[in-house]
Structure 1
Amino acid sequence: MVEFKVTTERQTQLLDITQLVREAVASGQGSAAVVYVPHTTAGVTINEHADPAVARDFETALERIVPSDWPWEHIEEGEENAPTHIRAAFMGPSVLIPMRDDGTLALGTWQGIFFCEFDGPRERSVLVSVLQ
């Protein structure tokens, strides 16, 4: 398993981590790579990474789908982050990416891997494991 850190700059932010994941799996041969985010207010997804507007659209859409001004029941003083848990659950904590025989990720031409921050800015961990 390889662990790397990402640092976010905004409360809601999608970061393209494709190259970091490629580097994490570069030394291993396997059938697939698991990318896992061990946080309840962050997630990971695969989507288009050729146009940065796609990530910004995701950020805006998730904030509109799960607005902060609902009467949330999960309220911790100083940590009013109930909607961030819901947004993270929509994205999910992990993705599974098949690997080619040469050890590279079998992503589509336009696909990238995104770390999804919903309670930033923070430093976060991303775990990558190659399955044999």
Structure 2
Amino acid sequence: MKSFRKELWIEIPSRVGFLNITEQIVQCVDESQIKEGFVLVNAKHITASVFINGDERGLLQDFALWLERLAPHEPITQYRHNETGGTNGDAHLKRQVMGREVMVAITNGILDLGPYEQIFYGEFDGLREKRVLVKIIGE
């Protein structure tokens, strides 16, 4: 069995945003030369997420609006976490809802995603570089 590891560095230029990272993951699979196995993709920060969904018009904006209604950023005093001096209590909750990681099968050297499925990085406390781990195992 072979193993491949790479970190992607991502910086979202706003507090909240999403980035389709599917092509970067495809490049990692190609680089790994693993034909049958699995790829794990996870955000290495507690205020960011990796998830799978469609790259359909308006959907990412819908996620942002829905998450803001679910865990609004302001007033920041509504979160006990922010009593420590931070302002990102909502970002931790948003990450919990959207998830930390995804795992995708690799078949014949290709990501085995369903129709329209794409891999996304979600940022909930941005404006600085963060890492995404790509770990591939297989033959």
Aligned mate of 2:48, from 38, 42, 61: 42
The aligned counterpart of 2:118 is 112
Q: Structure 2 regions of 5+ residues with no counterpart? A: none
**Quick check: which one's helix share is greater?**
2
- Say if 1:7 and 1:124, in contact at 8 Å, map to a contact too: yes
**Quick check: which one's strand share is greater?**
2
Structure 1's consecutive aligned runs of 4 or more residues displaced over 6 angstroms after TM superposition are none
Q: CA deviation at 1:65?
A: 0.8
Q: Is 1:84 the counterpart of 2:91 in the alignment?
A: yes
- Say if 1:18 and 1:112, in contact at 8 Å, map to a contact too: yes
Q: RMSD of aligned C-alpha atoms?
A: 1.3
Q: Is 1:10 the counterpart of 2:14 in the alignment?
A: yes
Larger Rg: 2
Q: CA deviation at 1:122?
A: 1.9
The aligned counterpart of 1:21 is 25
Aligned mate of 1:96, from 103, 128, 133: 103
- Say if 1:25 and 1:128, in contact at 8 Å, map to a contact too: no
Q: How many pairs were matched up?
A: 129
Q: CA deviation at 1:109?
A: 2.2
CA distance in 1, matches of 2:130, 2:50: 12
CA distance in 2, matches of 1:11, 1:52: 21
Q: CA deviation at 1:115?
A: 0.3
SS of 2:91 mapped into structure 1: helix
TM-score after normalising by structure 1: 0.91
Q: CA deviation at 1:37?
A: 0.8
TM-score after normalising by structure 2: 0.87
Deviations 1:29-61 (A, max 9, x none): 131110011100001100001x24111111111
